[in-house]
Structure 1
Amino acid sequence: MTSKLPSTERSLPIALIRAREGVMAPIREMLAETGITEQQWRVLRVLSEYGRLDAKTLADRSSLLFPSLTRIAATLREKGFVTQTRDDADRRRHFIEITPSGQKIIDDRADEAARIVEWFKATLGADDYETLLNLLARIDPGAKG
């Protein structure tokens, strides 16, 4: 054992993994009947919030690697939840947009997703919830601000 390392009970990477599992459990439960994955949910949520996006921006905002987004977008397109078009000026650039069927997935679960968020806020307290988001943004290389 080396004394240079913190205890695994106080290890930030391990604590973040444990916290992620705690955060994702109710979301996984919510998505269980939908036939979509957590990653597909993120893509649909981002498209619902921002509208039509180019694939690179969508990957960034969904916290996905570009190759993963390519695969996920193809699956969502096959399910009829998104459309994908090429940029007329730059044929390498693709735009992805949520369809009414994809928006229905979001709309049908909006109340349950809001209840999950409220449970986290109640568990942490509203101020600590906001503080946690702010602290995490400080170590997120892609965070704005």
Structure 2
Amino acid sequence: MARALELHQYVGHLIRRAEQVHTSLWFRHVSRDITSQQFAVLNALRREPGIDQRTLAQHTSLDRSTVNQMVRRLVGQGHLSQVRDDGDRRRTLLSLTADGSELLDSLIPPAERVNEQLLQSLTGSERALAVDVLRKIAALDGEPLDGPA
């Protein structure tokens, strides 16, 4: 008889399930229009306005083509602005518009509540450990996490 994994012990399956839970909570409590990845882009630009798309991709741990599509969408929706870098005309620098800043302000409280919901079944020390373990797993691809995006 062929061997089968115990999925409730398989880390990849549990990470996928956790992502499903997060996505469901995000959709119900934060936004049906702005994804958590788009939120990360907006948040990263609040933390460091005037960065280029490559740097934005690094800060959000998203691939450059995904960031490029998100930037186009968010610019089209009036949430981001783009200007050419005077020092290097090949680079486009990104910033939140007033509308994007207002949008981010409205998303932060429910995003914090979703984060709390995800951690609520854990004790204080388990919460810190869970976040630490997830950071270590996320860094396995060799890309350091820049801190909170």
Matched positions, count: 142
Matched, 1:125 2:126: no
Could you say which structure has the greater relative contact order, defined with CA pairs below 8 angstroms and 6 or more residues apart?
2
Structure 1 residues without counterparts, runs of 5 or longer: none
- CA distance, structure 1, for counterparts of residue 67 and residue 37 of structure 2: 9
Look up the SS of the partner of 1:51 in the other structure.
coil
1:22 deviates by 1.3
- CA distance, structure 2, for counterparts of residue 142 and residue 2 of structure 1: 37
1:6 deviates by 4.1
Q: Deviations over 1:11-32 (max 9, x none)?
A: 2211111111112221122212
Q: Which residue of 1 aligns with 2:143?
A: 142
Q: Which residue of 2 aligns with 1:49?
A: 47
1:53 deviates by 1.6
TM alignment of 1:1-145, pairs within 5 A = 2-3=2-3, 6-29=5-28, 30-32=30-32, 35-139=33-137, 140=139, 141-144=142-145
Structure 1 pair 21/99, CA: closer, same or farther in 2 (3 Å)?
Answer: same
TM-score by length of 2: 0.82
1:2 deviates by 5.0
Identity %: 25
- CA distance, structure 2, for counterparts of residue 110 and residue 40 of structure 1: 12
- CA distance, structure 1, for counterparts of residue 70 and residue 42 of structure 2: 10
Q: What amino acid is the match of 1:13?
A: G
RMSD of aligned C-alpha atoms?
2.1
Q: What amino acid is the match of 1:142?
A: E
TM-score by length of 1: 0.84
